[in-house]
Amino acid sequence: MPTSRREFIAGLGALALFPIERSEPDLILHNANVWTVNPRQPRAQAIAISNGNFYAIGTNEEVLALAAGSAKKIDLAGHTVLPGFIDAHSHPAEAGLDHLRMVDCDLRSIADILAALRKQAAKIPPGQWVLGFKYDDTKTSDGRPLTLKDLDEALPDHPVFVEHRGGHTAWVNSLALKLTKVDDNTPDPPGGNYDRDPDTGHLTGHVRENAKQAFQQLIPTNFTRDDHREGVKLIAKMMSRTGITSVTDALGSPQDLRAYQDARESGDLSVRVYCSIFFLHIQHMLDAGIRTGLGDEWVRVGFMKMICDGSISERTARLSQPYIGRPNDFGILVSIEDELYEHSRKAHEAGWQMGTHANGDVGIDTTLRVYERLQKEMPRRDPRFRLEHCTVVNDSLVQRIKALGAIPTPFSTYVYYHGEKMKEYGAERLDHMFALRSFIDAGIRPTQASDYPPGPFEPMMALQSEVTRTDSKGTVWGAKQKITLEEAIRVGTVHGAYASYEENLKGSIEPGKLADLVVLGRDPFKTEPSQLINTPVERTMVGGRWVWEA
Ligand SMILES: [Zn+2]
């Protein structure tokens, strides 16, 4: 009886309803504490879902009254519901493969790391590589980094290669050195070095930058198409558990795009993906007539990715003022402005969104000049230029970002997780880094972005980091850039949707949008900000289906 129901609904007044006559809600969540992130209806008690979309949002009475015979009802016992979180810059396909074959060394003692590596060694024949990743020398309780001796004693029969979380350095054992024929007399390769003990001259097993290549060349990388799909399945599951419902792959390839499609087809994709394409692959896409936006709400072609300067966690971002304690070090520009422009021009003209890795103020200035020139020479309506990371800013950069309508994607968890690395930027600069307060005040829409693996992706850690600007040891970095919890949630939801041109599709709990949400075990608005990270994620829903239930 659609007519009578419509009349009935009209009488409800405040109830927000999606105007599809034919559908009935198939699921109703009620008795919930809903924060919708929809300014027209910020709070609600109940949500009706139909065919994977939000159908109605309102009070318990209003929404339960819509229940038809077949509608399932779930009493959420007062628990908090937020829109699903959007990680607007991450590397899921690559991280998934890492998790498939490497040992996660994000552990708090060297003994734990060695035990995890030994466990992996026990599963494979002697002589095969044991690989680790996400090791961070500043994160173990031992107060010293891994050594050759540690690795030799724990793993005498397997070559070992343990990568730093930042990805630029690694630790190896003697068997790995033997296989690569690197010894005390081997000269350092250009752009890299094999660390040596200053007293004895012997190798320490720590290898940096290009010195890693000797080992990487020997490590098999023969992944099958199934491996790529399995990797996506694994990382998607990990993300679902934390409340992420959409993710942007910030350095995608045609192979990654295929892996996301394969995972979706086999029913293993539990997060929606906006897949950027690295500029080296762009010609294939242009030739095929593909551009930003192709796909659907599960797997969509994203922006063209370029890289302008270095990294924040490894302290190579290009800065106008030198790093603290290194008066001659301003960081690295990876690309020349003219090159960036040349690569961008074709893609911009063909309708691609641009996303350029730019961390330091010089990197951001350079990237903005390229975007400004593109828009001047070939104006496009609503190009939504992205500044990937956009870490170190100043007032004039913020004004230019605003004028261009560009989107910064600052690291969300770095202050909390990588706090100890911040001293090399200095207190003054920290007041202009991960500058959410400045962006929001200027009317810019920054996103939540983990850059996983380098940064943890848990949205609850992001909220705490952004609201408190405090690291895990209690030190505050750049207090001026604190934002409110409400703002941090907007950054992690609707702003992420805007960054992929999907703000009409997702990012808030309102009728007609995709039913992507998260159920929390505690109301973050009633939680001490320093405890937000411990907020339990009880359930995650994508498209009306639970993809995670604790
Ligand atoms: Zn990245």
Residues in contact with 522: Cβ distance below 8 Å, sequence separation at least 6, in sequence order? 80, 535, 536
CA 259 → CA 241, 247, 277, 292, distances in Å?
Answer: 21, 14, 13, 18
Pairwise CA distance, residues 121 & 108, whole Å: 20
**Residue 88 Cα to ligand 1 middle (Å):** 10
**Residue 206 Cα to ligand 1 middle (Å):** 24
**Residue 411 Cα to ligand 1 middle (Å):** 9
Average pLDDT of the chain is 93
Pairwise CA distance, residues 254 & 140, whole Å: 37
**Residue 106 Cα to ligand 1 middle (Å):** 18
Output the six-digit token pair for 205. 């097993």
Residue 503's pLDDT is: 98
Q: Which residue has the tokens 């020139």?
A: 373
Output the six-digit token pair for 423. 């001293």
With cut-offs at 50, 70 and 90, classify the pLDDT of residue 333. confident
**Residue 455 Cα to ligand 1 middle (Å):** 9
pLDDT at 10 over 50: no
With cut-offs at 50, 70 and 90, classify the pLDDT of residue 11. very low
**Residue 251 Cα to ligand 1 middle (Å):** 7
Q: Which residue has the tokens 């001259």?
A: 201
Pairwise CA distance, residues 411 & 211, whole Å: 28
* Residue of higher predicted confidence among 4 and 227: 227
**Residue 274 Cα to ligand 1 middle (Å):** 14
- % of the chain exceeding 90 in pLDDT: 84
State which amino acid sits at residue 10: A
Query: Do residues 211 and 177 touch, judged by C-beta distance below 8 A?
Result: no
**Residue 123 Cα to ligand 1 middle (Å):** 32
Residue 27's pLDDT is: 97
Half-sphere exposure of 221 (CA within 13 A, CB side): 8
**Residue 355 Cα to ligand 1 middle (Å):** 11
**Residue 454 Cα to ligand 1 middle (Å):** 8
**Residue 408 Cα to ligand 1 middle (Å):** 13
* Cα diameter, the chain: 88
Whether cis (ω within 30° of 0) applies to the bond prior to 453 is yes
**Residue 107 Cα to ligand 1 middle (Å):** 22
pLDDT in tens, 403-418: 999 999 999 999 999 9
**Residue 104 Cα to ligand 1 middle (Å):** 19
Residues linked to residue 56 through DSSP beta bridges, in sequence order: 17, 48
pLDDT in tens, 467-503: 999 999 999 999 999 999 999 999 999 999 999 999 9
Output the six-digit token pair for 4. 């009578």
Residues in contact with 221: Cβ distance below 8 Å, sequence separation at least 6, in sequence order? none
* Residue of higher predicted confidence among 328 and 73: 73
Output the six-digit token pair for 420. 């100890």
pLDDT at 539 over 50: yes
**Residue 489 Cα to ligand 1 middle (Å):** 21
Pairwise CA distance, residues 446 & 4, whole Å: 44
**Residue 471 Cα to ligand 1 middle (Å):** 21
Pairwise CA distance, residues 332 & 323, whole Å: 12
With cut-offs at 50, 70 and 90, classify the pLDDT of residue 311. confident
Question: Where is average pLDDT lowest: 180-184, 237-241, 307-311, 338-342?
Answer: 307-311
SS3 436: helix
Instruction: Taking the CA atoms of 525, 412, 445 and 511 in sequence, report the sign of the dihedral they define.
Output: negative
Q: Measured in whole angstroms, how far is the alpha carbon of residue 301 from the centre of its chain?
A: 17
With cut-offs at 50, 70 and 90, classify the pLDDT of residue 326. confident
Query: Do residues 87 and 450 touch, judged by C-beta distance below 8 A?
Result: yes
Query: Do residues 276 and 303 touch, judged by C-beta distance below 8 A?
Result: yes
pLDDT in tens, 12-37: 446 766 665 556 899 999 999 999 99
Query: In terms of pTM, does the model score above 0.85?
Result: yes
**Residue 450 Cα to ligand 1 middle (Å):** 8
**Residue 467 Cα to ligand 1 middle (Å):** 23
Q: Looking at beta carbons, which pairs linking 72-77 to residues 24 or more positions away fall under 8 Å?
A: 72/26, 72/27, 72/28, 73/27, 73/28, 73/30, 74/27, 74/28, 74/29, 74/30, 75/30, 75/31, 76/29, 76/30, 76/31, 76/32, 76/519, 77/31
**Residue 267 Cα to ligand 1 middle (Å):** 26
The closest of 184, 206, 174, 183 to 193, measured between CA atoms, is 206
**Residue 457 Cα to ligand 1 middle (Å):** 12
Residue 6's pLDDT is: 41
Residue 3's pLDDT is: 39
CA 363 → CA 97, 324, 340, distances in Å?
Answer: 30, 18, 11
**Residue 451 Cα to ligand 1 middle (Å):** 5
**Residue 359 Cα to ligand 1 middle (Å):** 11
- % of the chain exceeding 70 in pLDDT: 96
Query: Do residues 517 and 83 touch, judged by C-beta distance below 8 A?
Result: yes
**Residue 13 Cα to ligand 1 middle (Å):** 46
pLDDT at 7 over 70: no
Summarize the confidence of residues 256-279 as an average pLDDT: 98
**Residue 440 Cα to ligand 1 middle (Å):** 22
Output the six-digit token pair for 394. 């100043």
**Residue 346 Cα to ligand 1 middle (Å):** 23
**Residue 248 Cα to ligand 1 middle (Å):** 10
**Residue 141 Cα to ligand 1 middle (Å):** 28
pLDDT in tens, 122-169: 999 999 999 999 999 888 999 899 999 999 999 999 999 999 987 778
Question: Where is average pLDDT lowest: 270-274, 404-408, 420-424, 454-458?
Answer: 420-424
Pairwise CA distance, residues 188 & 197, whole Å: 14
The closest of 253, 251, 282 to 453, measured between CA atoms, is 251
**Residue 255 Cα to ligand 1 middle (Å):** 17
The closest of 420, 417, 474, 468 to 106, measured between CA atoms, is 417
**Residue 308 Cα to ligand 1 middle (Å):** 12
- Strands 537-542, 517-520: parallel, antiparallel or unpaired by DSSP? antiparallel
Pairwise CA distance, residues 87 & 457, whole Å: 7
Question: Would you tell me the crossing angle of helices 459-468 and 485-492 to the nearest 10 degrees?
Answer: 140
